[in-house]
Structure 1
Amino acid sequence: MEIRLAQRVQALTPSSTLAITAKAKELKSKGYDVIGLGAGEPDFNTPQHIIDAASASMNEGQTKYTPSAGLPALIKEIITKFKSDQGIDYSPNEVVVQNGAKHALYTLFQVILDEGDEVIIPTPYWVSYPEQVKLADGVPVFVEGSEENEFKITPKQLLDATTNRTKAVIINSPSNPTGMLYSEEELLELGKICLEKNILIVSDEIYEKLVYGEHKHVSIAQLSPELKEQTIIINGVSKSHSMTGWRIGYAAGNQSVIEAMTNLSSHSTSNPTTTAQFGAIAAYAGSQQPVDEMREAFEERLNIIYNQLIDIPGFTCVKPQGAFYLYPNVKEAAKLTGYKDVDSFVEALLEEAMVAVVPGSGFGTPENIRLSYATSLDLLEKAIKRMHDFVESKMKA
């Protein structure tokens, strides 16, 4: 029996990150020594005090439904975190806990978009942004963040992309895949346009704890009361506390939007996983030393491997300021090695050099590749040497 699938899912583009990971796993299962640099998650285990708190909650019988918006105790910790980190005040009815930050984004687009509403998405973008907008019958409008401007869009670009159907703009800082940050001044200028044009700001801050050097994370919502009201912050514990599999994220902002997200969630997931919520309470209420140690480890890896990476012929790369990705432009390397495009170059890297990276075509910039340094320094250096040797051998051939 052939069942016709809904058009909304037929139009979806498969995740390039998942596709490359699957291919790498397939080769590994056949005995090949593949080094995977596609992972979008920390290589550290969840801190022990979080695991212990979640385990204790189950033993204490905390295994039932919770309110759809999340446990009041967790919402309280999230509110405390916002006040401590950004100086922003939220009330409990301005926060909803979701099954991961990805779910928070999905739910948000479902409640704010009608058919034909436009969402401005800077490129490079996280792979799920345009697909989630399309699933809500919205229209992704791509605006190029050039490498010359550290992959960030300018106020003029934002203004030029705005139409009478523009509903929202996504700001992801630090960014996946580039690791770049918007400064306070840049955010103020973008925010000014959003206020003038009544554009909702979707501020994805999932990598906020992973910022390096003298750089600092700034939330656009902390810059003025007006911008706070215009912004929905998306965040979670996945990256900051190495809890990707726990699936706890949240949204904070305008009360009517948050209430709509809560109502929708009550008919889709009922509530976030109870045990995971108790783990998230411990993540925010407990020691932040593991967070600092993980950030320091990522920064050390970045500073060591960055120079090794840009030493590869045909590789250029803006040094990231946060997250745990490098996003080099390898168009020239693909040309030097005889490949028609970067996607073909990436495929050959995996099949011949046994290094799995993610092609930039999945992020809207086909000249780049994304490498995650959320793996051991030893493996990172080995992978970069393999890529270097691969390029040089092809150039000599």
Structure 2
Amino acid sequence: MEAAAVNRDESQEMPGSCTCNPDLYYPESLFNYAKVVSFRCPKALFQIDETGAAVRLRPNICLPSLIMDELLMHFVKDGKVDNAFLYLLGQAENISLKCAALHGCDDISDDGLKALFKHNLQSLDISDCSGVTAKTMENLLRCKDSLQHLNIDFCRGIITKEVMQNFNFTNLMSLNVNSIQLLKFETHLVEQFFSQLKNLTSLDMSNQVQVHSTKSLDFLNLVAGQLQSLVLYNCKPKLITDSWNIICSMPRLQHLDVSQEPTGMTFGQPRFLTNVITPQMLSKLAESTPTLRSLDISRHNLGSWDEELADESDPNVYVQSSIPGLKRLRRPLDFIGMWMTRWIDGVPPNEDQRRQRSKHTHVPAEKVAGGLTKDTLLVALEVYTERRRRFSKS
């Protein structure tokens, strides 16, 4: 019996153990084992010089994209990716690469990336890479037929007038241009830019500044019929309110982020924005986008706890909601972000009072990110990992 118990415990610790019968286990697949060896012992795949850098692929080694994509991420995490390593990946004949995630690699440049583009990349993430310029976008046209996902977040010098005119990535489905000020270009260039993106379904245009009062997001009309995800995080509030009718005309929209960030630690700064997104605007959004599943409206005025709309919603048609403006949802959302809103701000500070109030409060979402309860705070910490300033004490 003791021996059986030991075997049972050991089988539960095996990576490929069978959960239905603890006396049996499935061994690791050869594929998973190959990945583990690749990550733990690069010398098995590459010839390593005295500095620990990989200089060439060993003879008779073949790395398919299923392994190489993850191996590249592992090298990035360890800070071992530079131009020399990208040259190696570009010159090796027995390497296949589809997804290149190079976030934060400051030691790579346009030349190194050019070597990498010999692979027909489907996904490229060069966000926050300080050495990348508009030359990379010109070189990337080699992958224009295969590229589906592009993240150039915080690559501020990468988009030029010439790039706007020749952005021929017609198969691109996901684009992240966070902090790249597209509105600084002439309106017809921005419209030409988006008119080329026939298959775009996900767009992140966070941190856009309205450089002139005549600038707007009207160009979103060109992709309104196809967008499923739109992120306008920390954009100037007037840009959002002026484009609200366009947002409400997106029939396939599933995720919308119009949340705001505190502008600083200035004393007396308001905790939430007033009359930017009103209950009436939310009501129109709920009625106009039947596919909406995720919504982030952090730091907006959502109305008080006890505020009621003039017309009561039919409980047989609409979900139960204590938030003015979301009474017109026909089904609960999967997620709602409500960090630092007036609605959350009005929660009684006493824990007992808060618990009592929560019993009579209906938030129409499966997951809620905010400061209402311990659970909603944990969700906020999970989903806002890249927005740390949100948790700073103001």
Which TM-score bucket, shorter chain as reference?
under 0.3
| TM-score in terms of structure 1 length | 0.26
Q: Which has the higher contact order (CA 8 A, sep 6+)?
A: 1
Larger helix share, 1 or 2? 1
| TM-score in terms of structure 2 length | 0.26
